[in-house]
Every structure is written in structure tokens, then in C-alpha cells.
Amino acid sequence: MVSRFQQTLGSYRFWIFIGATAYFLYAAYFAIYGLSFSVGLISDHYVFDQLAKDPWWWAVLYYGSEGVVGFLCGFFRAIAGFFAVSAAFLFWRKKDAVSSIKSKVTKALFFEAAYFISLSLSVIASLAYFFTGDRFYYFDGLPGLIYVLVAGLPLLAMIVFVAPTLLNLRKKILQNAGEKEVSKWACLAGVAYLFVVFWFNYSMSWAGVMVTYPRVQYGLSFLLLPTNLLSFVLTFVGLLMLAFYGLAVSLPVIQKKSVQLNLKHIGALLSLLGGYFVFNVFFYYFTGGYEANPSVWYEVVGPLHNPYFWCFTLFFLGLALVLRSNKPEK
């Protein structure tokens, strides 16, 4: 006899709700952190004195990209998270509330897209800093190439490829474009996240590690440390293979040959992706964290500095989907 608690833990709808809740909580944390950092930045006299030596437009870009954007993008994602949690709760507990779920999902998609678009100023700042030869103040001399590799190019890719896909998916839902069309764009959005937000974004962080920067641990010798090499391979090779796996699984739906995904394959995909984030948190603390390994990668992968760490919950959602594929949920 299966208890109600066991039924809940085995429900993919429940784990969608848990994932949405983690997404919202992380977004709220970063919104609060962004506001606190912005206030601290504005009141930092040392930073102000350094920026006063540079052209006014660089001060605007610096305060805008490091202060305003930090709070604004967190604020947009927190709103997206609120609507995502609301939609997920209805999907879990009130399955017949289709109209309300659709309304909340479209709002969540809009603010998630706004999150990416709001990062545009950071892209401009990184490119300006790089092409002016690192002559201006930016965290006491961070090489411009690191700034471009770790922030500029990944954020630009998200703005160009991810945000429009989310907005088009929202448009299709609002237009009641049909199950095939909505499913197609939902899969395209998922594939965009796999290739851009996860693989390209994190791989470029490792590229930033290769740039010479004497104040912290960088370079090939740092990458070739056994634990770092494992993390690099899982990121550069593992996430790329996972992205192509996601594309292969989604291709029939993208081509409109089907509206249903293979739950077992989707479950495996989500569990592997969630497992990557579970590995990262153990990796981070096992190796001593940023204090023991001051570098771009340890800054990015830290659970309190990684806005996508909530994805660890996908491990459990994936398992629930695999179980459902073997025995459909009643």
C-alpha cells in the first residue's frame, strides 16, 4: 500500500512545484543581494574616487552594469519566479485551472525574458572595457578579456538566442496557436537553455580561467589539477553532449512530427542536468571553495553565487518522470 507521502514524492507535478519554488527563492535571494550590493557600491567612496579619474560615460556604464542591472535582473527573475510558483502549484493541486495556469506561465516567460534583456548594459560595459584596453577602473584591474569571456559573450548569447525564444513561446500561448506550435517553441526554449545558458555560459567561464591573471589561480596548470580537470570535462564535454541529447529528444516535436516527448528520455536528461549541479556543490566545498581556489570558476560555481543552482532540483523531477514513464500517474 502506497502512502500519500510516497505518492507525493513520486509525482512529477510535485517536483515541478519544488523546482519552481527553488527558482523563486534563488531569484528573491539574488534580488535582495543585488539591492544590497547596489547600495554598497553607490556609497563606496574608494570606487567613486577611482571612477572620477575616468570618462563620465564609463562611470555611467560601471554603476549601471554593476549596480542597477544587478538589482534589476534579480527583480525581474523574482517576479518570474512568483508567477512560476503560482502556475506550478495550480498544475500540481488544481489540474483543471488551465486558463489561470496559462496566464501565469505567460507572465513568468515575459519576466524571464526581461531578466536576460536587462543584462544588455553589462554586455556593453564588458565590450567597452575590453576595446579601450583595460584603461578604466574595474575591480582594481581585472583583465578585459576575462570580463568579455565570462560575462560579455555569454550574456550576449542569452540576449540574442534565449530571450526571443521565450517571448515567442509566450506569444504562441497567448495566441492559442495549437499544441504542436506551443510544444515546438517550448522545446526550442529548452534547447536554447541547454546550449547557451548552461554549456556555452559555463564553458566560457573555463575559458576565462585560461587568461593570465597573477593575483589569482589561473592558467593551464590550474585546469590540470585532477578535480578541476574533472569539472572542466563535465562542463565542456558533458554539458555539450547533454545539449545534443536534448536536441535529439526534442527534434520530433520541433519538426511537428509529434506533440509528445519521450518521458523516459526527458527524465534522464533532467536528472543528468540536475546531477551536474549536485556535483558542483560537492566539488566546490570538497576542494575548499573560493578561498582555497580564487578563480573565475570557483566564483561562478559557488552555490551562493550561481543563479542557476536551483537546477539541482531537476535531478528529482527527472527521476519522477522516469518512474512515470514506467507506471503512469493516476
pLDDT of residue 127: 92
Counting beta carbons within 10 angstroms of the beta carbon of residue 32, is it exposed (0 to 12), middle (13 to 18) or buried (19 or more)?
middle
Distance set, CA 311 to CA 218, 271, 315 (Å)? 27, 10, 8
With b for 16 or more beta-carbon neighbours within 10 A and e for fewer, the 262-293 pattern comes to bbbbbbbbbbbbbbbbbbbeebbeebebbeeb
Specify the pTM. Answer: 0.92
Name, in order, each residue with C-beta under 8 angstroms of 111's C-beta and a sequence gap of 6 or more.
Answer: 76, 77, 79, 80, 83
The backbone region for 261, taken as left when phi is positive above 0, alpha when psi lies in -120 to 50, beta otherwise, is: beta
Residues 154, 193 contacting (CB under 8 angstroms): no
Is residue 80 within 8 A of residue 108, CB to CB? The reply is yes
Residue with cell 563620465: 56
Digit-coded pLDDT (tens) for 160-197: 999 999 999 999 999 988 889 999 999 999 999 999 99
Element (H, E) at 144: helix 144-147
Confidence of residue 7 (pLDDT cuts 50, 70, 90): low
C-alpha cell at 152: 560579455
pLDDT digits (tens, 9 = 90+) for 127-152: 998 888 777 887 667 788 888 999 99
